Amino acid sequence: MTTAIDAQANPGAANGTPADRGEVVIDGVTKRYGDQTAVDNLSLTIHPGEFISLLGPSGCGKTTTLRMIAGFEHPDAGDIRVSGKSVLAAPPYKRDVNTVFQAYALFPHLSIAENVAYGMQQRRTPKAEVRERVESALDMVQMRRFADRKPTQLSGGQQQRIALARALVNRPSVLLLDEPLGALDRQLREEMQLELKLLQSRLGITFVFVTHDQGEALSMSDRIAIMRAGRIEQLADADTVYGRPASAYVAAFVGQQNFFTGDVSEGGAAVTSPHAVVLAASPVLAGAAQGEAAVRPENMKLEAAPNQGTSTGVEVNAVRGELIGVSHLGDTMQYLVNLGHDQSLIVRRPTPDAPSVKIGDSVICTWRPEHVLLFPHDDSAEAGGYIAPPTL
């Protein structure tokens, strides 16, 4: 026997819809506003039942892309297909998608149940079906006991759940989420990240999630599309995006990086900056004149510097500097080291292994070649939203 919740979790099983229900294909889509190109010949296939995040800084085109899928914006070129059919001619209310915004837009004069039922009532859905679907949707977000309350009587996290229930009650094949957690405090936002992923996994609905928060994207997504200037810079799972970024732009945007910019050595295995010669394990920059070596803070070690010289032991790369900042991040200690020439490094170490150093000390930072990522120098990176190395 198929229950109402089972039918929402696997709509195809209940009504015989094709296997591609929930697939979204963005095919060569361009969107311009005057002489500004917000989305530039973008192509992307989102698989049925996938949780995909569009990640990038403000102005990269992620929200415009979401709004074109929803039907609130119309592309100047290209096609958008949902579940195998082009939706360009369909208005938003006739597309098999629903959208959850950062502003929940709940009706304050209606009860929670009435808010969730509103869309179905406008389409004159039979009352018995409305009641059953509202109860099922509220059960999915664990809010059925609040059905008779008004939105103003709920917390921000509870209102978020109601907005989700209202979107899911129509059983869309695709749920679009436009920074829906942005208004929540940090602890509640982290709780909702977990709840959203668990809900999506249980329902099997395609989620397209727009965010500028890398932590949200990394913690929830099956794949992440890193966007820059209206295009996709890299599309991959979280492990790949974090551990093997495709460019300096991606490396800097996803997580923290320390960058050394300078001349590339013969063979492309090292970058010579004003502060250090940074050796990598793999020579990937052969033929490039200028390059950037990137090292994540957690892959660096730090210790008090000896009075003379720089002893690296088994570590090959090393640089000397002055400790100018220490921050306690709970299970991690963060150190800010001044290298001179208006550049600093960030080093993070587990709190139990924190070195015995204090602000003002001369310190040595060391790291292994296998932890170094090499990228060609990108003069246009700053205009595209590139996050520069930490400077003083």
Q: What is the pLDDT of residues 362-390, one digit of tens each?
A: 999 999 999 999 999 876 544 333 334 44
Position 382 in a domain:
no
Which H helix or E strand runs over 27? strand 24-33
Return the CATH number at 38. 3.40.50.300
Report the pLDDT value the prediction gives residue 309, as an integer from 0 to 100. 53
Shared-domain flag, residues 230 and 343: no
Return the CATH number at 352. 2.40.50.100
Shared-domain flag, residues 134 and 210: yes
Domain final position from 180, 207, 241: 241
What's the pTM?
A: 0.84
* Phi-psi label, residue 309: left if phi above 0, alpha if psi -120 to 50, beta otherwise: left
| Residue pLDDT, tens place only, 148-193 | 999 999 988 888 888 888 888 888 899 999 988 776 777 777 887 8
Position 383 in a domain:
no
Position 10 in a domain:
yes
Residue 225: domain span = 4-241
Domain final position from 241, 267, 284: 241
Shared-domain flag, residues 207 and 254: no
Examine the pLDDT at 337 and tell me if it is beyond 60.
Answer: yes
Shared-domain flag, residues 235 and 284: no
Task: pLDDT band for 360, please (50, 70, 90 cuts).
Answer: very high
Shared-domain flag, residues 268 and 310: yes
Separation of alpha carbons 278 and 162, rounded Å: 52
Name the DSSP letter for residue 305: P
Q: Residue 26, SS3?
A: strand
Shared-domain flag, residues 46 and 190: yes
Mean confidence (pLDDT) of the chain: 86
| Residue pLDDT, tens place only, 180-226 | 877 677 777 788 788 888 888 888 899 999 998 898 899 999 999 99
Closest CA to 258 of 391, 351, 376, 355: 391
